[in-house]
A and B are shown apart, each in its own frame.
Chain A
């Protein structure tokens, strides 16, 4: 503790603060622009850090990473365009708030929740990184499959629309996630003989087609999005907003921190779990899904905490839990530092600098984002039809830049048409994207589990984590059915 407090003092040099600030700014900008994403940004900016000392490089790259997590919520709230997967969950309530003229408070609450979660997680990493990482390694593939099943259940619970339609669309999304080369046997699956599909459907073409294109067409056709949003005189959260958000923020930070430590658990799963957990609590302002601050605070706290605690398995065990962390691991290796079990003991100053940078970086991000909340919100005052061409251009560049592939642009067009059909059928695309993200991961762990158990499915009942997840799913489903029945009976009289 005193070690990283000392590092906190030592990081406050102009040089390190400038690196942290520029990293946070770059991360926020790339997070705001849909498509570029933190992994690509880290990879692109990696050469910039060659000339820096290891601590400086780690500070800047970490700041880019969590800056992008902050930034992605902005487009999700303002335009219903998630820049990152976790933004999908924030968009469910955040965009409703924006349409109601409350974009400023929503963005500010997202920033403050993320700040709290970031600080909470930094303290957590400083104290408990090692022991927690060792425990997380004990979770078997069956346990991870159970946790992802729980994530899929949470996705069905939080998805807009009736549960039957949501579950069907989640399964459909999971099918789309299977397109590509099968990880087990290396055989192509659902590729229709197209070589370009062998690497699978990219996240960006799917989400930009379903959200950007289809949503823009829907908005233009229905006039469902007001041509101008009412001007926001006071862009900051009110006391009522804080009252509605503090408890969800606490819960989201705790859930995100715990889940982020587990390798393979993505930030979107943490956001889903946090929002799913909020259904058990009464919201103070509006029901979840209809512009509740809890629907912004909980997932934002969870995804920021999860993004940071994902550093734990890298630093303590050398396991990168997600692609962004893998790029970060590469950056450390370029600097001649091997992340792994001996990282903390061999590099206490570097570990301390990282923890200190998490604290300073999160504060910088809020200083950066709070004044910008009003400016971002004022973007909504631009007439919508003037924004449409620019949104399309950013979406196109984002999709094209990920793999420099025009096939992805055509794919985006295809998903735009698909999304437009869904709109006509009055179906939401969100469950499809959630299934797309979680389905392949579920298959992977299911496959591993059955491989280890020699095809015996009873392992899901004997593994404690898997069993606990199945019990939670069963209890949750029973509670939902009970609530639905009670509501139906009440409506009938």
Chain B
């Protein structure tokens, strides 16, 4: 475990985590209110949804209160992931991987599975830290080859491996 660098650094996720889950709970609770809890004398779609989302709000509030009351930020009970290193902001890793997924979703209808996978692998490779054109091309080719192997051996015959028209 890395030593806590400052009180505020430790405090922020500790306080923000229950606030985040509480906000999601409130959003889900409001959505559940749009559903009927009962349909005549039967349970409706809203009942369980309300119970669960109300539970999320109640538990998050308790969690928030417990987090505020703890004085020692390094307390292992207050830190959900004490043994893990703290993430450092690195836009490239996130952008590369999320960009790879988006690239696949956007190009799959036009390029087919193999080329879209190759493109996704290339973008992800950039996110993972590859810089040279050779390394990026190799990752793209490996991604395309993997997609081709899976597509030919395991996917149904109708799977769109290639661009329409090929």
Residues of chain B lying within 8 A (CB to CB) of residue A397:
113, 117, 147, 150-151, 155
Interface window among A52-60, A106-114, A182-190, A272-280? A182-190
Q: Is the CB of A221 within 8 A of B87?
A: yes
Residues of chain B lying within 8 A (CB to CB) of residue A290:
83
Q: Is the CB of B56 within 8 A of A221?
A: no
How long is the Cα–Cα vector from A426 to B105 in the complex, in angstroms?
29
Q: Is the CB of B128 within 8 A of A388?
A: yes
Interface residues of A in 193-242 (CB under 8 A from B): 213, 216-218, 220-224
CB-CB under 8 A for A416 and B97, given A184-B44, A406-B109, A423-B87: yes
A390 on the B face (CB < 8 A): yes
Nearest-CB distance from B106 to chain A (Å)? Answer: 9
The answer, among A29, A36, A190, for a CB contact under 8 Å with B49, is A190
CB-CB under 8 A for A393 and B44, given A160-B81, A164-B66: no
CB-CB under 8 A for A221 and B117, given A162-B80, A413-B101: no
Q: Is the CB of B93 within 8 A of A217?
A: yes
Q: Is the CB of A426 within 8 A of B13?
A: yes
A425 on the B face (CB < 8 A): yes
Interface of B is mostly: helix
How long is the Cα–Cα vector from A240 to B152 in the complex, in angstroms?
43
Interface residues of A in 340-397 (CB under 8 A from B): 384-386, 388-390, 392-394, 396-397
Q: Is the CB of A175 within 8 A of B49?
A: yes
Chain B's closest residue to A423 (CB) is B87
Interface of A is mostly: helix
**Chain B residues at the A interface, C-beta cutoff of 8 Å:** 13, 16-18, 20-21, 24-25, 28, 31-32, 35-36, 39, 41-46, 48-49, 52-53, 55-56, 59-60, 62-63, 66, 77-81, 83-90, 93-94, 97-98, 100-102, 104-105, 108-109, 113, 117, 120-122, 124-125, 127-130, 139-140, 142-143, 146-147, 150-151, 154-156, 159
7 pairs across A/B with beta carbons < 8 Å? A171-B55, A184-B43, A189-B49, A192-B31, A216-B93, A389-B140, A400-B104
**Chain A residues at the B interface, C-beta cutoff of 8 Å:** 29-30, 33, 36, 41, 44, 160-162, 164-165, 167-169, 171-172, 174-175, 178, 182, 184-185, 187-190, 192, 213, 216-218, 220-224, 290, 384-386, 388-390, 392-394, 396-397, 400-401, 404, 406, 409-410, 412-413, 416-417, 420-421, 423-428, 439, 443, 446-447, 450-451, 454-455
